[in-house]
Amino acid sequence: MRHRAIVPACLLAAAIASGCGSGATTNCKVPPDRALLLAVRAHAGPIQLPDGPDKGNASRLTITACQLSSSEATATMTVFGLTGESIRDIRYGLKLETRGGEWTVTADARTQRCQPGRGSQEFSSSKCR
């Protein structure tokens, strides 16, 4: 009977750890709440994934969030496979705070990776051609 409780507990611990990023040190205090993840997702604007009736303009989106306290958080959101002519992927390094009870992006370090032949193939702040 304990086996049934151990597996979900291990999965929950793994999910919490992965949500706080990788590395030897972390300041994550609690798992990111839904409102935080929705604020991060909204920051990307009108990104459409190909899981609905429309074709979409990106192939995948990942979010890794770390809630440092009840009022501060960091997040990394990466949008992969954009269908535009020059930009292939975009990565947002975000800082968020709660203001008026809602999560607000207070800093955004945006980088991009260009389509082949259009500029940098690594994430960079350089513009794509």
**pLDDT band (50, 70, 90) for residue 49:** confident
pLDDT tens profile 55-84 = 778 999 999 999 999 999 999 999 999 988
In sequence order, which residues have a C-beta less than 8 Å from that of residue 57 and are 6 or more positions away? 46, 47, 48, 82, 83, 84
Angle at 81 (CA atoms; ends 84, 26), nearest 5 degrees: 125
Q: Share the mean pLDDT of the chain.
A: 81
According to the model, what pLDDT value does residue 21 have?
42
Q: Count Cβ atoms below 10 Å from residue 99 Cβ, excluding itself.
A: 10
Residue 51 · residue 43 · CB < 8 Å: no
Q: Is residue 90's pLDDT more than 80?
A: yes
d(CA 82, CA 60): 9
Domain boundaries, the chain: 2-114
Q: What is 47-100 written as a DSSP string?
A: ---TTSSS--S-SEEEEEEEE-SSSEEEEEEEEE---SSSEEEEEEEEEEEEET
